[in-house]
Amino acid sequence: MSQQGTLQDEQGSGGLVRLSRGALLSRSLVVLGAIGGSALGAADLAASSGSQSGSGPSPARDQEILNLALLMARLQAAFYADALRAGRLTGESHQYADVVGKQEQAHVQYLAAALGPAANQSPRFHFGDATSDPTRFIATAVSLETTSLEVYNGQAVNLTPTTLAAAARIVSVEARHAAWARALAGQDPAPAAVDVPISVNQAKSVIAPFIG
């Protein structure tokens, strides 16, 4: 939550400055004004973050992005499984972990199957009291689900259309999870008119404490 605020702040001006060099300047500025800068940020983040593999989507780039998606799904599936094992959740929080955990597991299976032999090995995860303390659990769920949808949104423009169509079936489910978790945390499920995308590096910094 405070994490989210930080990410948004980091992004606002950076996106603007860099895209102002682009050929789509005038239209982009209209979009920026209209949608609060976030959409522009996504296009810009996407354009900058993958430049080493050339501009535009490609099957190789799809693999890279799907591997990140697989990592996020594995992390979340492990998180919910760990929380259920810890046995401290009750009521709707327990239902949330049970329902969402199964869906994350389905995402893992889907993404692993899509990647086939190109799928990375799963790292080990550890969650500390994020899965044993109900309040920490919900706060962490909000953070992970929000990060997941935001990095999908940020990377979508780098996907080939077929892979994009598949990823879009997952990203809105992540958004539903984030909304549900926020409701359980006593927050508005949808805090803004647009979801601000984040970069791969921003996503990795959020999940790094749980890996290794």
Supply the minimum distance, in Å, between the C-beta of residue 200 and another protein: 15
96 vs 127, beta carbon nearer another protein: 96
> Chain-centre distance of CA 100, in angstroms?
15
176 vs 211, beta carbon nearer another protein: 176
Supply the minimum distance, in Å, between the C-beta of residue 168 and another protein: 5
Among 16, 35, 86, 115, binds another protein (CB under 8 A): 35
Supply the minimum distance, in Å, between the C-beta of residue 46 and another protein: 7
| Per-residue interface string for the shown chain with another protein, residues 149-188, x marking contact by CB under 8 A | x--xx--xx--xxx-xx--xxxxxxxxxxxxx--x----x
Name which of residues 59 to 98 contact another protein (CB under 8 A).
Answer: none
Residues interacting with another protein, by CB under 8 A?
23-24, 27-28, 30-31, 33-36, 38-43, 46-47, 55-58, 99-100, 102-103, 106-107, 110, 149, 152-153, 156-157, 160-162, 164-165, 168-180, 183, 188-190, 192-197
